[in-house]
């Protein structure tokens, strides 16, 4: 990765951490899941309002390290409007990037997290919000899932 690209990706994480998108409880949510990452102290709740099989609206709320909060913020921007199958596919891509460091061919915000693979303890931080979102998608209406990342 070039120094410029590395810098750009650093900015993506800093920006999402400083100005989180879709943060706060979603009053109209019909699915909620909570994830926590005890090894780092990160907490993340994900709220979904499903329109049929599509994520009509999404938000997250939580606290923790910069990686966990920035990743959850980015996740909400990527999953909004997606079907559950598309969301699962995006999570698969993201998971591969953070565990292997393999960057997608196109420059994208998601690739900002590729550097995380060099710090195995932080992988759980990066996947926490995504994991909660996938759990929320799997759950029925008004189901709260206590999930621990693996």
The answer to the question of residue 68 lying near Zn ion (CB under 5 A) is yes
Between 37 and 76, name the residue whose CB sits nearer to Zn ion. 37
Between 114 and 125, name the residue whose CB sits nearer to Zn ion. 125
Least Å distance, CB 28 to Zn ion, is 29
Contacting residue, 15, 65, 93, 117, with Zn ion by CB under 5 A: 65
Rg of the chain on CA atoms, in Å? 14
Between 62 and 111, name the residue whose CB sits nearer to Zn ion. 62
Between 110 and 125, name the residue whose CB sits nearer to Zn ion. 125
The answer to the question of residue 36 lying near Zn ion (CB under 5 A) is no
Q: Who contacts 54 (Cβ-Cβ below 8 Å, separation ≥6)?
A: 81, 82, 83
Residue pair 57/48 in contact (Cβ under 8 Å)? The answer is yes
Q: Which residues contact Zn ion by CB under 5 A?
A: 40, 42, 64-65, 68, 125
């Amino acid at each position: 990765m070039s120094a410029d690209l590395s810098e750009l990706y650093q900015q993506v994480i800093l920006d999402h951490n400083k100005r989180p998108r879709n943060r706060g409880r979603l009053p109209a949510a019909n699915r909620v899941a909570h994830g926590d990452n005890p090894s780092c102290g990160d907490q993340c709740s994900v709220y979904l309002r499903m329109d049929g099989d599509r994520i009509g609206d999404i938000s997250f709320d939580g606290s923790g390290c910069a990686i966990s909060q920035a990743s959850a913020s980015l996740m909400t921007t990527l999953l909004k409007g997606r079907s559950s199958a598309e969301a699962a596919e995006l999570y698969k891509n993201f998971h591969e990037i953070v565990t292997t460091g393999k960057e997608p061919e196109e420059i994208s915000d998601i690739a900002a997290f590729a550097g995380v693979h060099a710090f195995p303890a932080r992988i759980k931080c990066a996947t926490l919000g995504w994991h909660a979102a996938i759990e929320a998608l799997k759950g029925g209406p008004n189901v709260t899932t206590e999930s621990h990342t693996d």
